[in-house]
Structure 1
Amino acid sequence: MSKAEKKAAKLAGVRKMDVDPRDAVRTPGPERTSPATMDASAETEYMIDVFGHIKAMFETATASAFPLLANSPVALVLSTKPGAHYQNNSAMSLYSKSKDFPADQFPADSPMDAAMRLCEHLPSSDVVEKAEAVKGSTIAVIVSTKYLTRQMNLLFQLGARPPKVKEEVVVVDYSSPNIAKQMHVGHLRSTIIGDCISNLFEFIGHKVHRINHVGDWGTQFGMLIAHLKDEYPDFETNSPPIADLQAFYQGSKKRFDADEEFKTRAWNEVVLLQNGDPVVTKAWQLICAASRKEFDVIYNRLNIVGLREMGESFYQSMMVDVIKHFEERGLVTIEDGRKLVFLEGKEVPITIEKSNGSYTYDTSDLACLKYRLDTLKADSVIYVVDAGQSLHFELVWGAARKAEIYDETKNRIEHVAFGLVLGEDKKKLKTRSGDTIKLSELLDEAVELSSKVVDDKQATLEDDAKLTAQEREDAINAIAYGAVKYADLKSNRTADYVFSFDRMLDFRGNTAVYLLYAYTRIMSIARKAGVSEADMAADTTPIVLEHPKEIKLALHLLRFPEIIEQFVAELNPHVVCGYMFQASQYFTEFYENCRCTEVVDRKVVSYNMSRIKLTRAVAVVLAKCFDILGMKYVQRM
């Protein structure tokens, strides 16, 4: 035993090991209990976050080996060293802090000594096969092949399960188009990202309220209603055939800007609407219904389900109580007839009531937040809205905290901001004439181009390998809408991204087409071998991991709960996309190096059931990721 080791043993009461601690990394004994209980029954319901489990082990080891630094962060990362799966880079940092303590209180003489001491204090676990200090004072961690094998068999048998989390009530506010206006690419981002986040929360077991906060209230409805009365005077008995809501809106706006008499009538209609006039309310409802019909066409195409409309109008009756809530706490300042709320550190106050007695977006959003917390009992409220609204939310939530509507120690209120959709000229995506691109036209183009992608591929196949008419249609829709969604989701949501059909529909690289094709290729392996789902379920052959490429693939698949937890923390879907793309690449490495079937004269004459089941485990994980991203997938392409 070295001088440093003797010193460490004396200070901490560590017994002398029979072998060098650099070779044997876990000391048996009652004090070596796992920081995370590996309950076999829980494994059937949840998947274990291997990374989180190993990190917890090192947190325990740090507290045991270096009590004075018990709360030091653990620098655990995926290993870059051959032969290791993870590596802990904490030893150097721990040793650098030794100068803050007397020499006799820090039981390590060097970074390597600190690394070895962490290994000695590492709790036992069936997850870790070996952990040893290596050159550079890092700790190389090898996950147990036996553990990997058991988990892969559970994955095959039970599917991709979520990590274990505490159940919550979550409100996700997304899409939010404006009544009487076309949905555009900005709404596309909010809709796609919000749907994905909702899918995520539902997958981990939360109760999710998917809320569509449509713009269905405000002064613009005065001009719309006045215009409706002029264009369709019999609207009360005959539903107006408004074919183009955008044109209808533009027509009313043109009159509002040019005709003072019309503008006066429009303002009067606003007052009547706010006072609940039945005729004006009927006109407003007809306009909303026409818009809702158009929105539903887009939602159906994108497979957006469960989205409940609760627009601005829903909260109008709650405004008085919100203002009263602020007044009772002495938080309202009156200036020029306006009711204002000032916030510390902010030059501009929020306005909760205008001088004419009307309300603002600030008032509406405060009522909205209060309803979601008090009535829906939300633990978390997630707003999927463009980055341009950041200051607005900052002020509204600041006011809510000041008025004790919202307690940030109890609730998670988060703005999931996103960037712009750019054209290939790196400018905001618009038509050649400079108009905002209609979402319906964008999706039509996606379907048209995807049809060519599918048909070009079909032209290269033998007749018996070609798709049926239904399979062709399913493949086209999966590619078209999947490509649009995936191009958005794979980018860091806070950044702008370039919308390019050429890139979206490329079979190479990190695209929906590549992943959808990879999935169908994986599914075809068992099908070509003549192995059905029932055959696999009935067969008792377990998945066995022997080849390095099998182990590499299995390790990545078992990162699934880690990726899910990262997504929950960051609310950035690109982490799932990156994980899927890496999984498909590791699968290719596995498939090229590990024979799954024996083929003679283009016919499968034998197969390896263990590897067939491993391919199905890959497909199971990819399918669950597609579900979370809101993408449909097909068995054949």
Structure 2
Amino acid sequence: MAESCTDKALFDQLTSDTKSINIQVQKLKSEILKVENSIKTYTPDKDCTEANLADIREENKKFLYRRGILTQALLKEKKIGESMVTNNIQQFVQRLMAVAVYRAYPNVSTPPLPLLAVPNSKGYGGEYKSNVALELSKTLAEKGVIINPRDLADKLSKTIPPNDVITSSSITGAGFLNLKVDTGFICKKVQEILAKGVLPPDVEKKRVVVDFSSPNIAKEMHVGHLRSTIIGESICRMLEFCGHDVLRLNHVGDWGTQFGMLIAHLQDIFPDYESITPVIQDLQAFYKASKTRFDEEEDFKKRAYEAVVALQSHEPKVYNAWKKICEISRNEFQVIYDRLGISIIERGESFYHSMMPDLVEQLKLNGLLTLEEGRFLFFLKDKTSLPLTIVKSDGGYTYDTSDLAAIRHRIREEKAQWIIYVVDRGQSAHFQSIFEAAKIAGYLDDHKVRVNHVEFGLVLGEDKKKFKTRSGDTVQLANLLDKGLEKSMAHLTSKGRDKELTTDELRLAQESVAYSCIKYADLCHDRRRDYVFSFNKMLEDRGNTAVYLLYMLTRIRSIIRSSKLTPEQIESAIKKISIVLEVDVEIGLGMSLLRFPEVIYRTVDTLLLHQVCEYLYDLSCSFSSFYDKCYCMRIDKETDEVLEINMNRILLCEATARVFETGFHILGIIPVSRM
């Protein structure tokens, strides 16, 4: 492979190549014109057959095809060259390989995307592995060209553009191309982390609406709301880190028949509810009682429906009662959100109620509703699936109506370019129907708006069954958090931290460990699967747990404090010292730091946050390997005097801490200075 050069030189090289292709295109254009003109002016003599003319036309088609391929290669290579500078190294390497494929095989119009493995955590690890040669051999074989993948890999290694990132390449196995990252480049990027902070990957900025948490008014938040709340918050933090404009929405259940039931019941058994505020636990008990009466008492059912009509008409007494109930619930929800560090805007079903009549009329005018047994139904293209119920036989609206009104409002009024619904997998069929209906109605255009249902599995108890209390009731979220604090304090006390930390430090550590463990235990699993909730496992201080990672960051910060360097001295060193990484484990740690943007880029695409957790755990392993083999300073054990400081390594510790802190912020984990 050619010697490395700067990004500008790389672009100049690519520009030179594109000029060469342009010349080829111009020659082909000239040849094509000659052929086309010869066909137009050609007068067949008596010996000419139709077959001769057909051959000429076939040759012309080949020329046109060839021109198309080269023009496509020209455009793609220009695009690659213009976007070479990036802090996402994996993406950079993919672009390099794409250029290599086009240079080696310009006739391959759709080369396979290079699949790249991340660096391993053992030894140096500064390599990316590409299986592009193996995939390309399959593509060529389909065209009748049989080439050994190792030979392909060898050819591709010679067409990789010279650059500052990849210093050499080698071929292993059946034809894998190993690309070694330049150590000087790693040093430069670590220096950038220190000088500029931890930067996000380059992404196209969008207006994003994230719908998450979504508890029901008049009910306590329970363990069923845990996953949506935690996952949704972390997705928002990650997207905001990448520069997206994020609107966090809490689509609470605050409208419908259940409120007519509850208000009618309150009027009977708690007539002073307007002056004496009931607590959320009483409201939940009242709600259960009202549901029983609604199912069993016809007279009560009638009064409940009358209360619904009065609520929808904003009759003052009933409407004020509803607002009071919402206020009680909202205050209780906020207590939970404050404990977990959740930021969210409430915009419940009631927000969209006034929009529903217009929605229904538009759907009727467009011929999208079918009247059956007094109900207006929206049938989808797949006539075998259940239709949406837009208007019930009693004239009321449904979840289908409010969700369709919501997606229309989010696209038209909020100008959303990406909408994310963080809702359990049991709602998958419902959301697929809503998305399909929005497309049919003309609200949703796949080419302009991305829509994702971020589904997740159940929280299970240690018996592998749905998480319940011993009495079989649903676990309330407030109780779960309290239990977390209790377990956290027991864990810290068992480690003797109550004797080492001040009262305030111990309280902060208790809260950090408790809430971080609950969040991390959820996020470190593939959200699409169920997971077992176990305080004992999540409080383990070894392995991929929040406690281990919190200890790791605390340890790194402790190392930096032990150097007795002030923050000002650290910042001065960052400006003056050029990072030099020489030992394999130093280089390996530096390479691990550089991977952060590519992990975030991939996670933004998949919305699978366990990838960030896995990365942080891998980073902790890289740091442990580094610290076990490399001294950062020498200290006199008797006097505690710092005898010698390896500033390169102290700065590497500082860069590692900053990446950890950024990752923790995305996951909602709050680090503490001492544990």
Q: Provide TM-score, normalisation by structure 2.
A: 0.85
SS at 2:17 equivalent: coil
1:52 paired with 2:99, answer: no
Alignment-derived partner of residue 127 in structure 2: 85
Aligned equivalent of 2:381, options 321, 344, 349? 344
Alpha carbons 1:242, 1:248 under 8 Å: kept: no
SS at 1:68 equivalent: coil
C-alpha distance in structure 1 between counterparts of 2:405 and 2:342, whole Å: 26
Residues 232 and 93 of structure 1, relative CA distance in 2, 3 Å threshold: closer
Residues 384 and 97 of structure 1, relative CA distance in 2, 3 Å threshold: closer
The one-letter code of the counterpart of 1:477 is E
CA shift for structure 1 position 542: 2.6
Alignment-derived partner of residue 425 in structure 1: 463
1:515 paired with 2:549, answer: yes
The one-letter code of the counterpart of 1:53 is F
Within a 5 Å distance, the mapping from 1:442-481 to structure 2 comes to 442-458=480-496, 466-481=500-515
CA shift for structure 1 position 134: 4.1
1:189 paired with 2:223, answer: no
C-alpha distance in structure 1 between counterparts of 2:2 and 2:325, whole Å: 82
CA shift for structure 1 position 571: 0.6
Alignment-derived partner of residue 205 in structure 2: 167
C-alpha distance in structure 2 between counterparts of 1:162 and 1:550, whole Å: 23
1:147 paired with 2:185, answer: yes
C-alpha distance in structure 2 between counterparts of 1:115 and 1:86, whole Å: 14
Query: 1:85-113, CA deviations, whole angstroms, 9 ceiling, x for partnerless residues?
Result: 112222133234434446xxx6x853222
SS at 1:210 equivalent: strand
Residues 174 and 98 of structure 1, relative CA distance in 2, 3 Å threshold: closer
SS at 1:339 equivalent: strand
Which segment is superposed worse, 371-380 or 218-227? 218-227
Alignment-derived partner of residue 358 in structure 2: 321
Alpha carbons 2:201, 2:242 under 8 Å: kept: yes
Query: 1:220-270, CA deviations, whole angstroms, 9 ceiling, x for partnerless residues?
Result: 111110122223324445545666332232232333334333222112111
The one-letter code of the counterpart of 1:607 is I
Query: 1:387-425, CA deviations, whole angstroms, 9 ceiling, x for partnerless residues?
Result: 000011111111111111101111111100000000000
SS at 2:136 equivalent: helix
Residues 446 and 68 of structure 1, relative CA distance in 2, 3 Å threshold: same
1:68 paired with 2:110, answer: no
C-alpha distance in structure 1 between counterparts of 2:117 and 2:389, whole Å: 48
Alignment-derived partner of residue 262 in structure 2: 224
Within a 5 Å distance, the mapping from 1:294-309 to structure 2 comes to 294-305=332-343, 307-309=344-346
The one-letter code of the counterpart of 2:129 is Q
Alignment-derived partner of residue 597 in structure 1: 633
The one-letter code of the counterpart of 1:596 is C
C-alpha distance in structure 2 between counterparts of 1:354 and 1:556, whole Å: 57
Alpha carbons 1:387, 1:418 under 8 Å: kept: yes
The one-letter code of the counterpart of 1:506 is E
C-alpha distance in structure 2 between counterparts of 1:236 and 1:473, whole Å: 38
Alignment-derived partner of residue 3 in structure 1: none
Aligned equivalent of 2:416, options 378, 402, 415? 378
Alpha carbons 2:2, 2:162 under 8 Å: kept: no
Alignment-derived partner of residue 524 in structure 1: 558
Aligned equivalent of 2:140, options 80, 83, 98? 98
How many correspondences in the alignment? 600
Alignment-derived partner of residue 8 in structure 1: none
CA shift for structure 1 position 135: 5.1
SS at 1:601 equivalent: coil
C-alpha distance in structure 1 between counterparts of 2:615 and 2:303, whole Å: 57
SS at 2:247 equivalent: strand
SS at 2:377 equivalent: strand
Query: 1:118-161, CA deviations, whole angstroms, 9 ceiling, x for partnerless residues?
Result: 11111121111112334532212111111110100111122111
Alpha carbons 1:211, 1:308 under 8 Å: kept: yes
The one-letter code of the counterpart of 2:623 is F
Alignment-derived partner of residue 505 in structure 1: 539
Alignment-derived partner of residue 214 in structure 1: 252
RMSD between aligned alpha carbons?
2.3
Residues 96 and 243 of structure 1, relative CA distance in 2, 3 Å threshold: closer
Alpha carbons 2:123, 2:585 under 8 Å: kept: no
C-alpha distance in structure 2 between counterparts of 1:427 and 1:69, whole Å: 53
SS at 1:48 equivalent: coil
1:483 paired with 2:517, answer: yes
Query: 1:467-500, CA deviations, whole angstroms, 9 ceiling, x for partnerless residues?
Result: 1211111111000000000000000000000000
Alignment-derived partner of residue 614 in structure 2: 578
1:31 paired with 2:26, answer: no
The one-letter code of the counterpart of 1:568 is V
The one-letter code of the counterpart of 1:75 is L
Give structure 2 stretches of 5+ with no counterpart.
4-9, 19-76
Alpha carbons 1:152, 1:617 under 8 Å: kept: yes
C-alpha distance in structure 2 between counterparts of 1:397 and 1:581, whole Å: 37
CA shift for structure 1 position 38: 7.3
C-alpha distance in structure 2 between counterparts of 1:79 and 1:166, whole Å: 26
Alpha carbons 2:280, 2:332 under 8 Å: kept: no
Alignment-derived partner of residue 554 in structure 1: 590
Alpha carbons 1:126, 1:144 under 8 Å: kept: yes
Alignment-derived partner of residue 13 in structure 1: none
Alignment-derived partner of residue 388 in structure 1: 426
Alignment-derived partner of residue 631 in structure 1: 669
SS at 2:448 equivalent: coil
C-alpha distance in structure 1 between counterparts of 2:486 and 2:577, whole Å: 45
SS at 2:170 equivalent: strand
SS at 1:154 equivalent: helix
C-alpha distance in structure 2 between counterparts of 1:549 and 1:375, whole Å: 52
Alpha carbons 2:219, 2:280 under 8 Å: kept: no
1:266 paired with 2:304, answer: yes
The one-letter code of the counterpart of 1:297 is V
Identity over aligned pairs, percent: 45
Alpha carbons 2:521, 2:546 under 8 Å: kept: yes
The one-letter code of the counterpart of 1:481 is Y
C-alpha distance in structure 2 between counterparts of 1:541 and 1:458, whole Å: 40
Alpha carbons 2:370, 2:377 under 8 Å: kept: yes
Residues 426 and 18 of structure 1, relative CA distance in 2, 3 Å threshold: closer
Give structure 1 stretches of 5+ with no counterpart.
1-16, 20-25
SS at 1:428 equivalent: coil
Q: Which has the higher helix share?
A: 2
Residues 281 and 135 of structure 1, relative CA distance in 2, 3 Å threshold: closer
C-alpha distance in structure 2 between counterparts of 1:238 and 1:322, whole Å: 39
SS at 1:382 equivalent: strand
CA shift for structure 1 position 70: 4.1
SS at 2:495 equivalent: helix
1:310 paired with 2:352, answer: no
CA shift for structure 1 position 115: 1.1
Alignment-derived partner of residue 63 in structure 2: none
C-alpha distance in structure 2 between counterparts of 1:65 and 1:285, whole Å: 69
Alignment-derived partner of residue 286 in structure 1: 324
C-alpha distance in structure 1 between counterparts of 2:197 and 2:100, whole Å: 33
1:398 paired with 2:457, answer: no
Q: Provide TM-score, normalisation by structure 1.
A: 0.90
The one-letter code of the counterpart of 1:389 is Q
Alpha carbons 1:323, 1:352 under 8 Å: kept: yes
SS at 1:69 equivalent: coil
